[in-house]
Amino acid sequence: EWTADLQEKLPEFADYPYCIVMPAAGRNLAVVGLQERAGLLTVCRMFRELFCCCDHLHVMGLSHCDVKLLNWVRLSDGTWRSTDFDAARRIGEELDDTKELSTAFTPPETFIILENKITTRVRKTDQEAPYEPLVVGPPFDIWSNTVCFYSFVAHKPLFP
User: What pLDDT score does 12 carry?
Assistant: 61
- Give 138's contacts (C-beta < 8 A, 6+ positions apart): 54, 55, 58, 63, 91
Contact 67, 103 (CB under 8 A): no
- 40-59 vs 138-154: helix axis angle to the nearest 10? 160
Q: What pLDDT was estimated at residue 159?
A: 79
Cα 158 from Cα 61, distance rounded (Å): 28
Contacts 24+ apart (CB under 8 A), 86-89: 88/57, 88/62, 88/63, 88/64, 89/62, 89/63, 89/65, 89/136
What is the mean pLDDT, run by run of 10 residues, along the chain of 160 residues?
52 60 72 88 93 93 92 88 87 83 86 82 70 87 95 87
Helix (H, G, I), strand (E, B) or coil at 22: coil
